[in-house]
Amino acid sequence: MADPDADLDTALADPDADLDTAVRAACTDAGFEVTRIEPLRSGLSLRRFARVHTRSARDPSLVARVEAPEDPAGRPAAAAPEPPLEPIRALLESHGLPVPRRLGGDAQRGVELLEDLGGQDLASAAREADPETRRALYREACSLLPRLQRIGPEPGVAAFERQLDAALLDYKAGLFADDALPARGRPTREAERDCVREAFARIAEGLARAPQRLAHRDYQSANLLVRSAGAKPSLGWIDFQGAFLAPPEYDLVCLLRDSYVELPPEEVEALAEAVRPELPDAPGREDFWRRFDWLTLTRKGKDYARFVHAAHRRGEGRFLAHLPTTARHLHRAARAAAARDPWLAPLAELVLALPETPCAP
């Protein structure tokens, strides 16, 4: 229920009468009697969400997901709209992956009614849990990825026609140069912008040679919900409508180098190494960690840029709280990547200059 990069306990800022009407109409059509609509707070996503309380015994609450208008103000330049939630949700459900049930919807109004998986995400659960419980939750999250990556192409599913390619990585390079580098306290120089684009282009070439597997695309703690109805907590997935093809390490980078939860480096390595041989392509250690660091630089570089953009251009300073963790992930990946591939040293120098607290440009 978010953009590559948004949280579930997020969305619906400033709900209005039109939204209320659309959600109520979709619920009525689906046979739900509404007792209360509870807006959910807005994050980076342009979508809006609400928790809808009903008189249903089976589904006393559900989540309404409301698409943003076409080309809304605020959509990043060059960012194409994501595909609809269906049929990727149905495909993942058919393979036994923990996505919410669809309870109804109104395509004309852009409303989807989904099973309410609860309000606790993995980020909050990890902060509250003891170390062993946290590790168990992360082991479960990792263990689901081989199942996802074994799903083959299906006709009509847009995810198999979308890919982490050179164009998308160049877009991320632009965000990094324009929004992340100025956090050092000065505008980005043209030579620095060229350095970033050239490095991201070479990374794109290397990633294109990797196996391409189905990826959730935003497999971070804010999009994994912890359910505790059974004997032990289990995870549910949200925000998967942007699924695409990517190297097998992509979702693991999102999870283990998450901006919302910072795991100890030795725990990241242990979790990754435990699942690496279980992935369908069983990548070798050297290839795995090379791509893991490349993907960290491109993914977390984009995240750092978006947090700064949200704070400085949209006035949403709360996102600055995630910069220190994001910067540390980037610094660690930059050192490792430059040591392994010296051609990345110029990019690493720029990355290592990124502060945990941005300076005013």
Whichever domain contains 43, its CATH number is 3.30.200
Same domain for 204 and 90:
no
**Do the domain assignments include residue 150?**
yes
The chain-wide mean pLDDT, for the chain, equals 90
Residue 20 — very low, low, confident or very high, per pLDDT cuts 50/70/90?
Answer: confident
pLDDT at 5: 38
State how far the Cα of 141 lies from the Cα of 92, in Å rounded to an integer.
Answer: 15
Which pTM does this prediction carry?
0.91
Q: Residue 44 sits in which domain range?
A: 17-115
**Percent of the chain's residues with pLDDT above 90:** 78
Same domain for 239 and 290:
yes
pLDDT at 296: 98
Place of tokens 């992340």: 180
pLDDT in tens, 51-77: 999 999 999 999 999 987 654 444 445
Q: Distance of CA 48 to CAs 38, 43, 81, 281, Å?
A: 12, 9, 15, 37
Q: Distance of CA 219 to CAs 58, 183, 194, 223, Å?
A: 28, 26, 30, 6
pLDDT in tens, 168-206: 999 999 999 999 999 999 999 999 999 999 999 999 999
Same domain for 337 and 308:
yes
Strands 111-115, 102-106: parallel, antiparallel or unpaired by DSSP?
antiparallel
Token duo for residue 151 = 């799903």
**Do the domain assignments include residue 11?**
no
Place of tokens 């948004």: 6
Same domain for 134 and 52:
no
The total number of structural domains that make up the chain:
2
Could you tell me if 172 and 197 are in contact, meaning their C-beta atoms sit under 8 angstroms apart? no
- Per the DSSP assignment, residues forming a β-bridge with 270 are none
pLDDT at 90: 97
State how far the Cα of 12 lies from the Cα of 109, in Å rounded to an integer.
Answer: 15
Residue 307 — very low, low, confident or very high, per pLDDT cuts 50/70/90?
Answer: very high
Token duo for residue 256 = 């283990």
Q: Distance of CA 164 to CAs 119, 210, 337, Å?
A: 30, 11, 19
- Per the DSSP assignment, residues forming a β-bridge with 14 are none
State how far the Cα of 260 lies from the Cα of 6, in Å rounded to an integer.
Answer: 11
pLDDT in tens, 210-219: 999 999 999 9
Residue 34 — very low, low, confident or very high, per pLDDT cuts 50/70/90?
Answer: very high
